Amino acid sequence: MNASAKVVLDKEVPTKVVLANIVPTKVASAKVIPVKVMHITSGETVLQQQPEHSLLVRQGVKATILSTAMPEQKFHILIEEGAEVVVCTIHQHSTCKSSSDVHKDARIQWIDILLDDSNLQLQTNLLESGAEVSAYQAFLGSADIQSDVLHASGHTKSTMIAKGILQNGLGTYRGTITIPQQSSGCIAHQRSDMILLDDQSRGDAVPILDVSNDDVQCSHGATLGQIDESKIFYLASRGFTEDQAKKMIVEGFLASIIEHVPNESVKQEIQQHLERGLTGGKEMRIVTNGG
Amino acid sequence: MPEVKKQLAGLEISREMYDEVNSHQAKFVAKPGINEEVVRLISATKQEPQWMLDKRLKGLALFQDTPLPSWGPNLAKLDLNNIVYFVNPNAQEATSWDDVPEEIKKTFDRLGIPEAEKKALSGVGAQYDSSVVYHNIDKLLKEKGVIFENMDTAVQKYPELVKKYFMTSCIPINDHKFIMLHAAVWSGGTFIYVPKGVKVDLPLQAYFRMNEQRGGQFEHTLIIVDEGAELHYIEGCSSPRYSQTSLHAGCVELHILPGAKMTYSSIENWSKNVFNLNTKRAIVHKNSSVRWLNGNMGSAVTMLYPCSVLVGEGARSESLGIAFAGAGQDQDTGSKVIHAAPNTTSIIKAKSISKSGGISSYRGLVKVTPNAMHATSHVQCDALLLDNLSSTKTYPTMKINNNTVNIGHEASVSKVGEEQLFYLQSRGLSAEQAMQMIVSGFIAPVIKALPLEYAVELNKLIELEVEGL
């Protein structure tokens, strides 16, 4: 791979670096450029790191970004015409602000897996026609998510799906779709589903639509509830224990988000983490080591 | 489809009938602005007991210390110092329409109230500015012990009931800024008590008319439906159109005791200079149910979020609403439900239509407390935008502190589809008929829920609206 993806490691606090400037090369357009963001820190400094990354994706490039969020980080991505980016981030005890400006016919797919009490703020600005965003989030335990999409131009499309399993924690999901008056022909759909596993859990959902144009397809939906007991009963009748049944249902519930994770080994690690989390095992920090 | 756009421009609720100023001269009009003097004057005019005056003064003190809400529609145009807080019409409360002064009677005639009373209601109250001018109830109901009185009279006649329920457990006087104001200057309104097990078959209705320029109307409605009783109560509101702003800050408290059932219907059709900042709440006890039907057509700004607090096991709440926002209107409405007991159920359906730059918002809350096991709630709100100048906002909030629940929310925004119009036209309907059909189809699920008798007012309004197409 001779793509000129440049990764700069950040050392100073706070840092503001161009993480990667991906320019079109002779790589066939169908080829996806993989980028892995690694934060290498030593010992005690880890909690003081507040990196601010920015990434510029040039015309027509396709890239996949895989990273583990720092305890506090900011990430800004600018996507030029026709480029496509998948950004997959694993969050553990982190507070993360990510934003993206998406230009003509460009696409961004956010995949955020929030484990153990994480906080995520996502802002996507669809600036020119044909721009598209998909934002997928899965969360376990406790989480606070704010995901906003601004359809600054007409003929743009957004899909937001969040699924959470709340265990002994508070899950908050706020999602806003804003369609100003000049933006005709937008399609925007939003959905958030939460399962509350125990009586110590709380779930708050605030999905907001702010629409000033009549030529739109716009909807949102939200559900909160517990695992359907009839499903557990059915699985139990097939010989599974209650714990096994619950695990299967939870996995199935999150599968539609996790299947978007672009890396098999990361996917497996997430699965393992979920299992540990659900069976009350000790948590372990996930280090993305795929490539 | 420019033709359709042109048709849409004509879509406007005819307000002529309501907008006209009636010539009645009030007996007493307080000076604009609010201070202790005005509050004491209102209380003295009504010869109220000391506890009520104390309540008013406490409300006033709280009101003066509390800032305007920082969220929601812009209230900058509302000049609270320019509002007349008390207007006493030149009339005694009558029990026969013949005794109501001619000009006032004419107003209510035009609104069709006496006619409706004959046909479909078991009791009617009519309030003109700050006082109730007409009150009548079916004799049979009276014999069964049903109380239907104007609120001022109730304070004198039923002090124990009023003292127990008036702005105490349901809406306390420190609830929010406009409730504090309401507590200080409230006047008129309805008091209803339905005794245990009594079922009121035909609805009771109250009609509120605000006539004075820069007036404020602060009617208080207190309804107690005792164990196992049933009631349907209807409220209608209108006012003439002035260039200066008026304020309506009413308060509705419903106490629905175990096993009782209540339907509360209201159509608020204030003219477009009115700030309608209204508060409605129901305390719903064990195995009882409340049904809210709300239509918000008029006013410049409406902030109204009827709330059900489900405090008893098996309590149920259903809320259906239609909001129509035309040019210059901001309809900020929604429903709140607090599930505070096990096995409680709530349904919210809200429909809004915006045109000519109108803004309609759904602002709602579903809250489930930790002890409310197996609560079920479903919220659906749909918005229809008739042109590209209008906007719609949806702010549902769900706060769930219990894991045995089943909560769902859905919302959608749409316009009248050109394919739909094209299809209907290909079947031989004119553009006008097609549009009419689609708009009525959109609101049908809510309209269908209205009892036939009640359609008197809402259906008339919707017809006018759709006729204009």
d(CA B291, CA B335): 12
pLDDT at A286: 44
**pLDDT number for residue B336:** 95
The pLDDT of residue B344: 96
Distance from CA of B469 to the nearest CA of A (A): 18
Rg, C-alpha atoms of chain A:
19
Instruction: Give the 3-state secondary structure of residue B387.
Output: coil
Q: What is the pLDDT of residue A271?
A: 83
Q: What is the 3 state secondary structure string of B33-69?
A: CCCHHHHHHHHHHCCCCHHHHHHHHHHHHHHHHCCCC
pLDDT (0 to 100) of residue A144: 94
Identify which has the larger pLDDT, A122 or B438.
Answer: A122
What tens digit of pLDDT does each residue of B325-362 get? 888 899 999 999 999 999 999 999 999 988 888 999 99
A207 and B392 within 8 Å at the Cβ level: the answer is: no
A224, B407: Cβ pair inside 8 Å?
Answer: yes
Contact B394 A212 (CB under 8 A): no
* Predicted local confidence at residue B115, as pLDDT: 76
Query: Residue B277: enclosing H or E segment and its boundaries?
Result: strand B274-277
Q: pLDDT category, A29, cuts 50, 70, 90? A: very low
At B199, give phi and psi (nearest 5°): -105, 120
CA distance A216 to chain B (A): 6
3-state DSSP of A26-76: CCCCCCCEEEEECCCCCHHHHHHCCCEEEEEECCCCEEEEEEECCCEEEEE
| Across A92-116, average pLDDT | 92
Phi, psi of A199 (to 5 degrees): -80, 0
Other C-beta atoms closer than 10 Å to the C-beta of B256 total 31
Quickly list H helices, B376-415: none
Q: DSSP assignment of A106-165, as one string?
A: -EEEEEEEEESSEEEEEEEEE-STT-EEEEEEEEEEEEEEEEEEEE-SSS-EEEEEEEEE
Which neighbouring-strand residues pair with B392? A211, B360
Which residue, B223, B231, B366, B218, is CA-closest to B289? Answer: B231
pTM of the model: 0.81
Name chain B contacts of A228, Cβ cutoff 8 Å: none
Structure confidence at residue B416 (pLDDT): 81
Give me the mean pLDDT over the A133-155 stretch. 94
C-alpha distances in Å from residue A179, one per residue of A157, A160, B152, B161: 11, 15, 49, 51
Find the closest chain A residue to B410 by CA distance: A221
Pick B413's closest partner by Cβ from A196, A201, A218. A218
In the predicted model, is pLDDT for residue A288 greater than 50?
A: no
Closest by CA to A110, choosing from A74, A181, A154, A158, is A158
Which helix (DSSP H) or strand (DSSP E) does residue B266 occupy?
A: strand B261-269
Residue type for position B141: L
Closest chain B residue by Cα to residue A198:
B403
Whether residues B402 and A221 touch (CB distance < 8 A) is answered with no
Spans of chain B below 70 pLDDT: 1-21, 23-24, 111, 120, 241-243, 450-469
Q: How many residues does chain A have?
A: 291
For residue A25, the number of C-alpha atoms closer than 13 Å in the C-beta half-sphere is 12
Which chain A residue lies closest to B386 (C-alpha atoms)? A214
Q: Of A59-73, A97-111, A255-269, B315-329, which one has max mean pLDDT?
A: A97-111
Query: Which of A198, A211, A217 is closest, CB to CB, to B403?
Result: A198
Give the tens place of pLDDT for each residue, B52-69: 999 999 999 999 999 988
Residues of A in contact with B415 (CB under 8 A): 214-216
Residue A5: pLDDT over 50:
no
Query: Among A170, A187, A224, which would you mutate to test the B interface (most chain B Cβ atoms within 10 Å of its Cβ)?
Result: A224
Q: Contact, B319 vs B296, CB < 8 A?
A: no
Could you say which DSSP state residue B70 is in? S
Q: Do the chains contact at B395 and A208, CB–CB below 8 Å?
A: yes
Nearest residue to B77 (alpha-carbon basis) of B355, B326, B329: B329
Write b or e for each residue in A173-185: b if 16 or more Cβ atoms lie within 10 A of its Cβ, otherwise e: bbbbbbbbeebbe
Give me the count of residues in chain B. 469
Q: What is the mean pLDDT of residues A33-57?
A: 64
- Summarised one tens digit per residue, pLDDT across range B203-260 is 888 888 777 777 788 999 999 999 999 999 988 877 776 667 889 999 999 999 999 9
Min Cα distance A160 → chain B (Å) is: 14
Instruction: Give the pLDDT confidence score for residue A60 in this predicted structure.
Output: 80
Of residues B388, B405, B411, nearest to A224 (C-beta): B405
Task: Dig out the tokens for B75 from the structure.
Answer: 């209230």
Q: Look at residue A281 and tell me whether its pLDDT is greater than 70.
A: no
**Best mutation site among A212, A215, A226, A230 for testing chain B: the one with the most B CBs within 10 Å?**
A212
B403–A218: do the CB atoms touch at under 8 Å?
no
With CB atoms and an 8 Å threshold, state whether A215 touches B388: yes
So what's the pLDDT on residue B262?
Answer: 95
| Distance between CA atoms of residues B164 and B168, nearest Å | 7
- B407 contacts in A (CB within 8 Å)? 222-225
Greatest CA separation found in chain B? Answer: 71
CB contact under 8 A, B396 and A199: no
CB contact under 8 A, B403 and A206: no
Residue B468's pLDDT is: 47
| Average pLDDT over every residue of A148-167 | 94
Residue of A196, A211, A215 with shortest CB distance to B403 = A196
Residue B287 makes CB contacts below 8 A (sequence gap 6+) with B258, B259, B312, B313, B314, B315
Q: Residue B344's closest CA among B396, B300, B290, B391? A: B290
Confidence at residue A11, expressed as pLDDT on a 0 to 100 scale: 34
CB contact under 8 A, B414 and A217: yes
HSE-CB of B393 using CA atoms within 13 angstroms: 18
From chain B, pick out residues whose CB is under 8 angstroms from the CB of A221: 408-411
Identify the pLDDT of residue A2.
Answer: 29
pLDDT for the residue numbered A3: 30
> What pLDDT does B451 receive?
62
SS (H, E, C) A69-107: CCCEEEEEEEECCCCEEEEEEEEECCEEEEEEEECCCCE
Element (H, E) at A166: strand A157-179
- B391 closest CB neighbour out of A199, A211, A222: A211
B199's tokens: 């079922």
What are all long-range contacts of A226-229, with beta carbons under 8 Å and residues at least 24 apart? A226/A195, A226/A196, A226/A197, A226/B403, A226/B404, A226/B405, A226/B406, A227/A195, A227/A197
